[in-house]
Amino acid sequence: MYSIEEFDREKTKVMNYIMYKKRTEKEVKNKFQNTIQNDLLCDIISYVKEAGYLSDSDYVKRAVNEFMALKNLSEREIKYKLYTKGINKETIEDYFYEHKDEIEEYERKSAKNICVKKQTTMEKEDIENYLLKKGYKEQIIKEVLECKTY
């Protein structure tokens, strides 16, 4: 077992890590698994989750909004980035289902941005293959490439 002082000391380390940059539960476990005993770490994670400082669903929301604001990514690329952070598939799929229209519109805009950027150096067929490789949906690629404004 562990003392209250030990819990508070280790909790402070975890809180500093979480507050510096939002993290997933898996990231916290990976960071502290070798420095904090397992039962203590589990109790700390439970505590910070209950207190609202650690939430994978909040992380998904924040990360997707950041990606949408800063990058041109396909839905598949965003999901992959979230999976690599250790977020379970159900949490990710729930978010994407709830925000389906918004994400589809973002993906369309993102594909269009890539088309505009690549049109001077690539043929239409090469752009199509590039977008397919990046995980864009065929329907969106077709719409964007048919549109003469790209």
Question: How far apart are alpha carbons 72 and 24 in whole angstroms?
Answer: 23
Handedness of CA 63, 64, 66, 70 (dihedral sign): positive
Residue 63 near residue 81, CB atoms below 8 Å: yes
The pLDDT tens digits of the residues spanning 75-93 come to: 999 999 999 999 999 999 9
Do 67 and 95 lie in one domain? The reply is yes
- CA nearest to 63, candidates 106, 104, 27, 22: 22
Q: Which of 37, 54, 71 is the last residue of a domain?
A: 54
| Token representation of residue 111 | 């594909």
| Token representation of residue 45 | 């994670």
pLDDT value for 16: 97
Q: Which phi and psi (to 5°) does residue 22 adopt?
A: -60, 135
The pLDDT tens digits of the residues spanning 36-48 come to: 999 999 999 999 9
Whole-prediction pTM value?
0.85
Question: How far apart are alpha carbons 57 and 90 in whole angstroms?
Answer: 10
Do 111 and 47 lie in one domain? The reply is no
Question: How far apart are alpha carbons 107 and 68 in whole angstroms?
Answer: 9
Do 31 and 63 lie in one domain? The reply is no
pLDDT value for 148: 54
Average pLDDT over residues 5-27: 96
> Would you say residue 150 has pLDDT above 50?
no
Q: Which of 54, 78, 93 is the last residue of a domain?
A: 54
CA-to-CA dists, residue 117 to 89, 112, 114, 150, angstroms: 32, 9, 5, 9
Please give the residue range of the domain that contains residue 72.
57-146
Do 49 and 86 lie in one domain? The reply is no
Q: How confident is the model at residue 133 (pLDDT cuts 50, 70, 90)?
A: very high
pLDDT value for 38: 95
The pLDDT tens digits of the residues spanning 32-79 come to: 999 999 999 999 999 999 999 999 999 999 999 999 999 999 999 999
Average pLDDT over residues 122-131: 94
Q: Which of 54, 71, 93 is the last residue of a domain?
A: 54
Do 12 and 70 lie in one domain? The reply is no
Domain count, the chain: 2
Do 66 and 128 lie in one domain? The reply is yes
